[in-house]
Every structure is written in C-alpha cells, then in structure tokens.
Amino acid sequence: MLTPRAEDFPRWYQDLIAKAKLADNGPVRGTMVIRPVGYAIWERMQADMDARIKQAGVQNAYFPLFIPESYLRREADHVEGFSPELAVVTHAGGKELSEPLVVRPTSETVIGEFMAKWVDSYRDLPLLLNQWANVVRWELRPRTFLRTTEFLWQEGHTAHASEADAREHARDVHRNVYEAFMTDFLAIPVVPGRKTRKERFAGATNTMTVEAMMGDTKALQMGTSHELGQNFAKAFDISYSSAAGGVEHAWTTSWGTSTRMLGGLIMVHGDDNGLRLPPVMAPVQVQVMVVKAGDGVAEAATQLFQDLKTAGVRVKLDDRSDVPFGRRAVDAELQGIPIRIEVGPRDLATGNVTIARRVDGSKTPTAIGDVVGAVTSALKADQQRLYDEALAFRAANTVEVKTLGDAIEAAQTGWARVPWSAVGEDGEAEANGKAVTVRCLVRADGSMPDSGDEDGLVAILARSY
C-alpha cells in the first residue's frame, strides 16, 4: 500500500502522510493543512510540553503576528539571517501601508520591544515568557512538517540579570523540557549538543540543539535553544536598575520547537505499514474493533471499551460493521494506533479476543478477563521498545572516525563522530560542499560544551533534513 521505506524513503514519507490522513498540501506553495488525525497528535505534544514549560516557571503570552519591518533591522545579524524568508504585508484596509509589515518569522524583535517596556528593576528579572503561535518563513524546497512556509511552534523568550543565569535557564529548558520530552514522551533518543558558529541562530552567541537520527540515517534538528547574549537587549534597550544601583542591559535567551517534530516522529518510528505511535503520546491508545456482527459481539466490545476507559486508557470503539474489517485494520495500522482489540464471533465463543500490537505486529488471543491487565503492560512495554529500537538503530549507524575524509564518507550512510580538531571551520565548509553538515559538537562524556573552542570536542557529521 505504501511505497516501501527501503525503496524510496522520501516517497514513503509523503505516502504515509497522505494515506494516514495526517496532512495535505495547502493552496499556497509550501503551506500545509494539518488534518484531524495529525492535529490530535500535535495537541497531545502541545499539552505535554506546555506542562513542562510551565513547570520550568515560564508563563504563556501572545504577541502580534505583524512586525514593523524596522524592528528586524535593529539587530544586524537577525535581519540578514531572515531577509530572504520574509512574507510582507504591503496593503491593508484597502490602502497601501506607509510601513510594510513583516509576518513574524520568529518573535525575538517584538518581544524584545515589550521586555524593554516591562523590565525596570532587577526585581522584574528573570522574565520568562513562552508563546504558542504560527510563524512564516518562505520555503523554496518545502516538505510537509519538516520545512513549511507556515508552521506552528512554541517560542520561549527570557530575560535575565546575568549571563550565568541566562545560560543556566537555557540549559535547564534544553535538558528538562526538550530532551526529557523527546525521550520520555516521543520515545525518540536525541543528542544534545552545541551548534558550530556557522550553524548558529541569527543573532545568537550560542545555539544548542537536540538532534535525532531518522529511519534513513539522516539527522533532524528537533529543537534549539539560544543564548542571545546582550545583542537583543542592546538593540531593544532591555535594561534594568541593578541591586547595586547601576543601569545594566539584560541577557536574553530564546528556544523553540515546532510541528517539525511530527515529521521526526514519523521518520523515527514509522514502518512499511504506516506510523507507529508511542503509547504515552498516542491520542488513541487502543481501538476496540467489532470484527463482524455476531452473538454478543457488540456487547462484548462495548464492555471492553468501558472497562479500558475506566482503567484510564485512551480508547476508541470501532463498531462500524458496515465497513470491511480489513480496511479498518489497515487504517488503524496506518495511523499508528498502538493496540487493536479484535472482537469476533469465533474467538468470543471460547471467551477470547485478539490483542494486536502495532509495534511488533504480534496477535495474541487473550481471555476477556485478562484484557485490561494485558493492555496496560503492553502499552508500557511498547513505549520502551520503540525507544530501544530507535536507540539501537542510531548506534548501528554511527561510526567513530579520525579524519575529515572518513567522516564525510561515513556521513553518506549514517552519522560520523570525529574529533572537532580534525574538522574545524575549513573542514566544515568542505563537508558542506558535499551536503554533509556538522550537526553539533559534544563533549566526550556527552555533556554540553561551554564553548566551541574546548579541547577534546567531538563533532557529529551527517546529512540532514
């Protein structure tokens, strides 16, 4: 039904999105429609990440979509980084505007403007804000979820009294919000690391990333956190009177994740039959299915549905016996529902139903009285199994090499770990010429480097989305 992954990975990806009804292309090039099946996944992601963001002491707010063009010009690197991607409103209310308005590609500038208004004394710091919003970046080579002209995201923006406090906050979010969310909720192993100077966000002094290996061994940047130094604070005059009585510029950070994570979820966990959703995050964990009508089948299915609901499982009853069972089962597989419970007359005659697990394709006849217990433990085991599979895949496709040449070669079919000292900025440019990028720099022990100049850093080289 789907193009096999091994045959044509990009086509498999687009097939899956279409057939599982996750998204459609929008009418304007590069835009997308997120359909109910896809949006339900995004809502689950949003809710879980939002709770983690609030747990980190951050408050949500909402800033305007339209940004005066002049705002972007105030921070030189920022305007240079975004110019080619901007969508511009020139007419509104039936007239030409005196100043064109940029549709936000990100909100650093407008939030900077308001932080300057709201911050007065050191008592107002840290100021920790987050926004869930749509942003627009004109894409020349769009791909659903991964690179779209409009996407949904959260963007955190914070202001601090010191560089150390800003750095600690950015790292806290990076580890305890992003890395934890991706590991525990999405069941995706990620490598947290530091971007090279070349890969940094426009206007940042440091960009941290979480990188994941997709099913074709390419890398996907799943989220980034930036230390912005005093660049934006100076451009927007975010200053405060310190406890000592002087006037100082604040230190700011920003951090973001987007609907791009949906693309990562598909490319990490999907297989030739469709999506496989980690049970913890699946909008529907269990689909109870009437195989075909028969003595007591509908009643037994309804009872199981109720029992599972009572046990706190997110369960859906599928009693559409006018639609062929095979088609319904294929749809449930495409959409990645972790468990199907198939209730049919023959099994039922012996007091059984069949538990079908999406992750490994197993089908197990199970006594009705054992279903709730079996489902609960299967959901737990399958969450772990998806994570373990992805981790094993990454390990099997990562090699340690010593030279730039070996790294570029290895990066054609996986990830290469190579001493950063063997690459450097010239080597990075050479790799880029061969469609390989330095995904991030990590310390040998896996911890986050404080600088790109530390001794002993390891660079991860890969092709990427």
- Which of 1, 6, 51, 89 forms a contact with its own copies (CB under 8 A)? 89
Q: Judge residue 192's burial from the number of C-beta atoms within 10 Å of its C-beta, 0-12 exposed, 13-18 middle, 19 or more buried.
A: buried
Query: Considering the rule CB under 8 A, would residue 142 count as an interface residue with its own copies?
Result: no
C-alpha pair distances (Å), 241 with each of 119, 350, 409: 9, 77, 54
- Which of 56, 65, 368, 399 forms a contact with its own copies (CB under 8 A)? 65
Residues of span 9-38 touching its own copies by CB under 8 A? 24, 26-28, 31-36
Tell me which residue of 73, 110, 65, 102 sits closest to 86, measured CA to CA: 102
Check residue 323 and report its DSSP letter: S
- Which of 20, 41, 67, 460 forms a contact with its own copies (CB under 8 A)? 67
Cα(295)–Cα(285) distance, integer angstroms? 27
Retrieve residue 35's tokens.
């359909």
Cα(258)–Cα(434) distance, integer angstroms? 28
> What residues does 258 pair with on adjacent strands?
153
- Cβ proximity to its own copies, 97 vs 381, nearer residue: 97
Q: Smallest distance, Å, CB 63 to its own copies?
A: 5
Taking CB under 8 A as the binding criterion, the range among 107-115, 235-243, 326-334, 377-385 that sits at the site for its own copies is: 107-115
Q: Smallest distance, Å, CB 431 to its own copies?
A: 27
- Which of 18, 56, 133, 311 forms a contact with its own copies (CB under 8 A)? 133
Taking CB under 8 A as the binding criterion, the range among 64-72, 176-184, 213-221, 423-431 that sits at the site for its own copies is: 64-72
- Side-chain-side CA neighbours of 181 within 13 Å: the count stands at 26
- Cβ proximity to its own copies, 135 vs 208, nearer residue: 135
CA 174 to chain centre: 13
Whether a cis peptide bond, with omega within 30° of 0, leads into 126 is yes
Query: Considering the rule CB under 8 A, would residue 244 count as an interface residue with its own copies?
Result: no
Task: Let me know: does 240 contact 127? Beta carbons within 8 Å.
Answer: no
Q: Judge residue 183's burial from the number of C-beta atoms within 10 Å of its C-beta, 0-12 exposed, 13-18 middle, 19 or more buried.
A: middle
Query: Considering the rule CB under 8 A, would residue 129 count as an interface residue with its own copies?
Result: yes
Retrieve residue 149's tokens.
């002209």
Query: Considering the rule CB under 8 A, would residue 121 count as an interface residue with its own copies?
Result: no
Q: Smallest distance, Å, CB 90 to its own copies?
A: 5
- Cβ proximity to its own copies, 9 vs 138, nearer residue: 138
DSSP per position, 32-51:
EEE-HHHHHHHHHHHHHHHH
- Which of 4, 10, 117, 396 forms a contact with its own copies (CB under 8 A)? 117
Residue type, 382: D
Residues of span 336-365 touching its own copies by CB under 8 A? none
Task: Let me know: does 189 contact 197? Beta carbons within 8 Å.
Answer: no
Quickly tell me which residue has 């079996």 as its tokens. 374
Query: Considering the rule CB under 8 A, would residue 64 count as an interface residue with its own copies?
Result: yes
User: x/- contact string, 252-291, with its own copies (CB under 8 A)?
Assistant: ----------------------------------------
Residues of span 69-88 touching its own copies by CB under 8 A? 71, 83-88
- Cβ proximity to its own copies, 155 vs 382, nearer residue: 155
Task: Let me know: does 180 contact 52? Beta carbons within 8 Å.
Answer: yes
Q: Smallest distance, Å, CB 314 to its own copies?
A: 13
Query: Considering the rule CB under 8 A, would residue 68 count as an interface residue with its own copies?
Result: yes
- Interface residues with its own copies (CB under 8 A) are 24, 26-28, 31-36, 39-40, 42-43, 59-68, 71, 83-94, 100-101, 103, 110, 113-114, 117, 129, 133-134, 136, 138, 140, 149-150, 152
